[in-house]
Chains A and B, each alone.
Chain A
């Protein structure tokens, strides 16, 4: 039976009248959306997931979305096919110790030599949750700008060729602060 609902209900049919007002009641025109600036700092699987979910949703909602990719976060924008990156032995050692690429992320808790992520992907598949890689592709299609940090690239010895296609021009912290001061809503992940 199809029922028309004036008020939204959850899957059990309970009223969810208390829908939080995203925008003020008095205006029917959506306000000019603020830009969103995510700072992708951590390289762990769960935080990668959070970054990709928020980036793709933000772009889907018509909000101009940028992701500044820095420090460990840059590891997940290295091509999955790259194994060892860097120019000197220390940089190479770093990449040897932690495999780069979005498909090779570890959990910050309960990693258990890869058992944790394996189970996480299994659960995600059971519940039809899109993988970070799928969300990244969707985000790129919808025009999310992923901007690498030049300093991190230099420090880890990463080249533009090491990174996935479609990344923006590398920039520094001043660009990030500049965007924030111009009104981009920032979020550090």
Chain B
């Protein structure tokens, strides 16, 4: 099932904490219920995005890895 992505954050190459910081800034531009996609190469991301989603109440819908690029799909609460 293809998900309708409202906005993509390209955080590839960025180190902690910039993927999270950029995500927090970008999710403001997305309407409630819409999906935000984040691409990251930071190995700490898998844990960080789970923690971020729990803390902010946004939902981590999908999490994949492809050739060292992590992809997170988040649904804005």
Contacts and interface: CB of A to CB of B under 8 A. Distances in A.
Contact of A129 (B15, B23, B46, B66): B15
B64 A128 contact: no
A3 B18 CA distance: 25
Contact of A53 (B17, B47, B65): B17
Contacts of A20: 47
Contact of B16 (A8, A10, A11, A53): A53
Given A10-B43, A128-B13, A128-B15, A2 B66 contact: yes
Interface residues of A, number: 34
Contact of A130 (B18, B52, B63, B71): B18
Contacts of B25: 60, 138, 141-142
A16 B25 CA distance: 27
Q: For A2, A30, A33, A61, which residue has the most chain B Cβ atoms within 10 angstroms?
A: A61
A53 B21 CA distance: 10
Contacts of B67: 1
Contacts of A184: none
A59 B24 contact: yes
Contacts of A141: 25
Contact of B65 (A9, A61, A63, A128): A9
14 contacts: A2-B65, A5-B63, A8-B63, A13-B65, A20-B47, A29-B57, A57-B20, A57-B21, A60-B24, A61-B52, A128-B18, A130-B17, A130-B21, A135-B21
Given A10-B43, A19-B47, 20 more contacts: A1-B66, A2-B64, A2-B71, A4-B62, A9-B65, A11-B68, A13-B65, A20-B47, A30-B54, A33-B55, A57-B17, A57-B21, A60-B23, A60-B24, A60-B52, A61-B55, A128-B13, A128-B14, A128-B15, A138-B25
Q: Which 6 pairs between the two chains have the least Cβ-Cβ distance?
A: A60-B24, A8-B46, A11-B43, A57-B17, A62-B56, A61-B55
